[in-house]
Structure 1
Amino acid sequence: MNHSRWKTARTRALLGEPAPEAPAVTAARQEIRYALALGQAVYDRRTALGISQTEVARRAGMTQPQISRIEGGDTVPTLPLLERLAGALESELDIHLVPGSEAEVRFHSPAA
């Protein structure tokens, strides 16, 4: 870091301004938010149905630890796996993504 950048960073810190975030960090944070939104949606639907992670795993052809990792936001499943999850949760899956905004992920009962 050169002196000019250091001085700018020091001034911002003294003024209480947050340092600008690197684009890679911003992208990583967004990916984490997506994973957590999906995990919460799986958890919400599973508990609404009153079934265990083990039962969801059995229905989706997965293992209970895989379901746990999805619910915990530790992994982002592929599209075919999302389709299997929706079937296991007797649901349709809606994912609404708007750049620079929070993701909306929702499992809901199929339309009649």
Structure 2
Amino acid sequence: MAFDLGQAVHDRRTELGISQTELARRARMTQPQVSKLELGGTVPTLPLLARLAEALDASLNIALDGDTSTVAFIAHAA
């Protein structure tokens, strides 16, 4: 699941056209923390997930079904 989450963060960040540094600023993280997260090297806490969703102007949807997980940031309506 860590890899799926990291990919979802990367995808939404690039969709917004912002750098890892900008996302880190918005989510009150460091750029190395964002990089590690995007590479699937860490599983964030619930408060950090909430900050990431806010920083990415999106809702976070996580679906777990046995060994399968789906993670997606859904953009807020404009």
Displacement, 1:44? 0.3
Q: Deviations over 1:7-36 (max 9, x none)?
A: xxxxxxxxxxxxxxxxxxxxxxxxxxx000
Query: C-alpha root-mean-square deviation of aligned residues, in Å?
Result: 1.1
More helix by share: 1
Matched, 1:104 2:70: yes
Displacement, 1:65? 0.3
Give the structure with higher Rg (CA).
Answer: 1
SS at match of 1:68: helix
Seq. identity, %: 63
Q: Comparing both chains, which one has the higher relative contact order based on Cα–Cα distances under 8 Å and sequence gaps of 6 or more?
A: 2
- Number of the residue aligned with 2:17: 50
TM-score using structure 1 length: 0.67
- State how far apart, in whole Å, the 1-side matches of 2:74 and 2:61 are: 8
Q: Which amino acid counterpart does residue 88 of structure 1 have in structure 2?
A: A
- Number of the residue aligned with 1:3: none
Q: Which amino acid counterpart does residue 59 of structure 2 have in structure 1?
A: E
Displacement, 1:108? 1.1
Which runs of structure 1 show a deviation greater than 6 angstroms over 4 or more consecutive aligned residues?
none
Displacement, 1:111? 5.0
- State how far apart, in whole Å, the 1-side matches of 2:15 and 2:76 are: 15
SS at match of 1:105: strand
- Number of the residue aligned with 1:86: 53
More strand by share: 2
Q: Which runs of 5+ in 2 are unaligned?
A: none
